């Protein structure tokens, strides 16, 4: 079976620097390190992220563990494909399936971990996760239909999001006033306590919804031209 790989579209802020770093790391991996092992390391990193957020219910300093998990997740998740390309051992069918299936699991662990922390309501974290999954599905559909695999939106990709979360974790640890900020909001007679990261989650949900809407309309118009009414 001949497989034509989709064109990777990656225009994130850190993309140029990250590519050089990943190639440098890939060339220095021991022979026993495989892409599958790196994918597993990325999974372990996401589990550590979730554990750090959950344990922050006990002590805020567990967020350092969460930040470490994000670095481990980046190392495994970002390097597995680069290692295959550097060694010319790509497996387009197997690699695509395993990598993106594990990605969905990783994202689920991290979003649920955030929702089980004392900082974000679980239902907000799950809404954000669903929207993220819809974007992931949209990327896969476009990869199939027009051979474009988009890794970034608005100059932001997974690496930038990881860095933002690490910065937010550090701020939450360092500034008690910020992490303890809370307001009560009444929605249809039900009182909700909104914390600072709840507010951030609501903004993220709004941005993801807007991005999905714009992406869907843009892609639908493009496909309508390719496949017009008969």
Q: How much is the pLDDT for 117?
A: 94
87-132 residue pLDDT tens: 999 888 898 889 889 999 999 999 999 999 999 999 999 999 999 8
Q: May I ask the CATH class of domain 8-120+136-179?
A: mainly alpha
Q: Where are the alpha helices (DSSP H) in the chain?
A: 15-27, 35-55, 63-87, 92-115, 122-146, 158-174, 176-179, 196-226
Segment 155-181 mean pLDDT:
88
| pTM, two decimal places | 0.88
Q: Which two tokens stand for residue 36?
A: 């599958």
Region of residue 189 (left: phi > 0; alpha: psi -120 to 50; beta: else):
left
192-229 residue pLDDT tens: 788 888 988 999 899 889 988 988 998 899 888 888 88
What is the band of 184 on the pLDDT scale with cuts at 50, 70, 90?
Answer: confident
Q: What is the dihedral of CA 201, 167, 155, 135, to 10 degrees?
A: -40
């Amino acid at each position: 079976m001949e497989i034509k790989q989709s064109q990777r579209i990656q225009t994130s802020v850190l993309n140029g620097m990250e590519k050089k770093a990943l190639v440098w790391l890939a060339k220095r991996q021991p022979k026993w390190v495989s892409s599958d092992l790196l994918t597993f390391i990325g999974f372990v990193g996401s589990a550590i992220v979730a554990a750090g957020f959950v344990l922050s219910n006990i002590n805020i300093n567990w967020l350092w563990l969460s930040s470490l998990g994000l670095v481990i997740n980046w190392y495994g998740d970002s390097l597995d494909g680069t290692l295959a390309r550097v060694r010319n051992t790509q497996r387009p069918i197997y690699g695509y399936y395993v990598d993106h299936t594990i990605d969905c699991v990783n994202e689920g662990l991290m979003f649920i971990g955030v929702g089980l922390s004392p900082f974000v309501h679980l239902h907000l974290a799950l809404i954000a996760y669903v929207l993220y999954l819809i974007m992931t599905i949209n990327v896969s559909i476009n990869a199939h239909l027009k051979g474009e695999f988009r890794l970034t939106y608005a100059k932001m990709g997974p690496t930038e999001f990881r860095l933002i979360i690490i910065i937010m974790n550090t701020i939450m640890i360092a500034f008690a006033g910020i992490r303890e900020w809370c307001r009560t909001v009444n929605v249809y007679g039900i009182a909700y306590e909104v914390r600072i990261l709840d507010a951030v989650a609501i903004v993220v949900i709004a941005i993801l919804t807007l991005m999905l809407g714009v992406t869907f309309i843009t892609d639908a118009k493009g496909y309508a031209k390719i496949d017009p009414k008969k």
